A and B are shown apart, each in its own frame.
Chain A
Amino acid sequence: MVDFFHYDFLLRSLIAAILVGSLASSVGVFLVLRGLSFIGAGIAHAAFAGVTFGFLTGLNPLLMAFLFSLVSTGLIDLVRRYGELKYDAAIGMFFSLTMALAIIFIGLMEGYNAEIMGYLFGNILSITLLDIYAIIAVAMLAFGFIAGLFKELHFITFDEELARASGLPATPIFSVFLLITALTIVVSLKAVGVILVFALIVIPAAAAYQLTHRLGVMMTWAIVFGIASTLSGMLMSYYLDLPSGATIVVINSLIFGAAWCVSPKKKKCHPSAMEADQRERMEGTA
């Protein structure tokens, strides 16, 4: 057994696995519940266009990834609001556009760039100290925001218009949340890659949803699943020489399968709507 604390790169991967796993899965809870899972893929592809633009122009790839994902998120929201489009159509449009831009930027480069492939598929063992600092900064911001505005995010997830109608600044809160989602995706890119970061956002939250009717409990389970999958993915990547991003996704999917099998939501241990209707008629409660 390798002593993790003797190898800096392993220690960095360990920290990155815990932070990225918890970070992506916690923002994923609200995206999954609002039916916005696909926005994770949209932002990730915009971030990839930013990375390729950075490599093409010599600018910082992570900074470019953040700018591209930020602009893309803003435009998706703008098109949705003023183009009277549903989120999935707006996301699909920018998803394709940013991927097309990334391909054009790669085509304009001279020769093959292996580092770009690292961003596409992810390699948790290649995380640098600077990456760790960026992940820690985003994690502090994201966890602070989610913990501080947990009740507001719950209400907005339940019904954004109702939250606004009751006097909550729902639109600014959710816009900041989307900004934090973009930051989360950008700092997770190196660990899990563009294609697979989407899975780390969606699957732990979807698995957690199977197990509970309480948002706080769902958040806890999602974080546990996120960390478990990134940690075990990292270890398997190291010991079995498997690609880390893909391994993390497969483990996540197994966790989802297990959660679905034991889900109390599948069992008829609670009265169905029809039974509740009958019961209320007899009891006279509405």
Chain B
Amino acid sequence: MSSPLIQLQNVTMAYGDRIALETIDAGISENEFIGIIGPNGSGKTTLFLGILGLHPTIQGDIMVFGKSVKFAPKEIRQKIGYLPQRESLDPTVPGLVEDIVMMGLYSNLGMFRRPGQRERQRVREVLEMVEMLPYIKEPIGHLSGGQQQRIFLARALVSNPRLLLLDEPTTAIDPGTQARLIELITRLQQNLDLTILLITHDVNHLISRVHRVMYLNKRLHAFGPTEEILKEKLLARVYGQTVHVIQLEDGQPCVVVSDKHG
């Protein structure tokens, strides 16, 4: 692994008096695929907002691409592809698929400049990558949840970022569609040499795909390879329920959350 792409140095973040993240120290290297788990309100999204420089640290510093987000937020944001939680996006706003994906290029294009042939070609390329090119002229509101997520993933990828922050990309879509989306993300990570941070509530999405898993609950409780995280006791704390790690027929571990409180 090369030098850290993201360095979290004693990071504490808060909303008013409420601490969201406390004294986090971690380093993430280039081309790593990191899964982030933790219960609701554990500071996962806040960490993304910190990396993007959209929410300040009250202590410590976040270094991205070797620079502090405090001093170079715009430069850093332009190199990051971000897919926020789905409920914050409004697909009823008029726009075709190509318009939505094109938005990912606006910051690099600069104000008062219109997208040209080169930008339109890039949009086509990235839609091809996420297997959505046939839908380029469809209104975004006409697509299903899973298809919309692919479009938003394309929007995050279109500026050719080195780092991708994906905040619960599989929320509110059916299990089959979730699996195909995660497969696509894994393939893109490998083919494009991306560094990806993926927030999810389903640990099974991460098994055999990510390099390391970060368990956050305001503090950094664990950060290591998947097998280190697949401990029933630790996962019971994540889910607040009894958790069983079972072996499937193909030898893969699978996390099953029972209805008993852990």
Contacts and interface: CB of A to CB of B under 8 A. Distances in A.
Contacts of A270: 139, 142
B141 A213 contact: yes
A281 to B, nearest CB: 6
A283 B245 CA distance: 33
Interface residues of B, number: 48
B161 to A, nearest CB: 10
A8 interface: no
B107 to A, nearest CB: 4
Nearest to B132: A285
A166 B147 contact: no
Interface stretch (B4-12, B31-39, B176-184): B176-184
A211 B177 CA distance: 32
B94 A155 contact: no
A162 B107 CA distance: 11
B96 interface: yes
A286 to B, nearest CB: 4
Contacts of A213: 94-96, 139, 141-142
A161 interface: yes
Interface string B98-113: 0110111011110110
Interface stretch (A97-105, A234-242, A271-279): A271-279
A151 B110 CA distance: 10
Interface in A76-132: none
B95 A286 contact: no
Given A157-B93, A215-B94, A166 B104 contact: yes
Nearest to B179: A286
A149 B111 contact: yes
B212 interface: no
B150 A285 contact: yes
B205 interface: no
Nearest to B152: A162
Interface string A165-178: 11110000000000
Interface in A150-192: 151-152, 154-155, 157-159, 161-168
Contact of A33 (B94, B106, B177): B94
> Which of B84, B99, B109, B150 has the most chain A CB atoms closer than 10 A to its own CB?
B99
Nearest to A274: B144
A151 B93 contact: no
Interface in A201-221: 209, 212-215, 217-218
A166 B147 CA distance: 22
Contacts of A273: 143-145
B147 A151 contact: no
Given A162-B89, A285-B132, A168 B107 contact: yes
Given A149-B112, A284-B180, A158 B142 contact: no
> Which of B77, B109, B181 has the most chain A CB atoms closer than 10 A to its own CB?
B77
Given A215-B99, A284-B180, A167 B94 contact: no
Contacts of B93: 33, 154, 157-158, 215
A148 interface: yes
Contacts of A163: 103, 106
> Which of A164, A217, A284 has the most chain B CB atoms closer than 10 A to its own CB?
A164
A281 B52 CA distance: 34
Given A213-B94, A277-B146, A285-B131, A164 B54 contact: yes
Interface of A: 33, 148-149, 151-152, 154-155, 157-159, 161-168, 209, 212-215, 217-218, 270-271, 273, 276-277, 279-281, 284-286
Interface of B: 52, 54, 74, 77-78, 80, 82, 84, 88-90, 93-96, 99-100, 102-104, 106-109, 111-112, 114-115, 131-132, 139, 141-147, 149-150, 159, 173-174, 176-177, 180-181, 184
Top 5 nearest A-B pairs (CB, nearest first) are: A213-B139, A286-B146, A167-B107, A276-B144, A167-B77
Given A148-B111, A214-B94, A276-B144, 8 more contacts: A152-B106, A159-B88, A162-B88, A167-B108, A276-B143, A280-B177, A281-B177, A285-B150
21 contacts: A148-B112, A151-B103, A151-B106, A151-B115, A152-B106, A155-B103, A158-B89, A158-B93, A158-B103, A161-B54, A164-B54, A165-B80, A165-B84, A166-B78, A166-B159, A214-B95, A214-B96, A273-B144, A277-B177, A284-B180, A286-B150
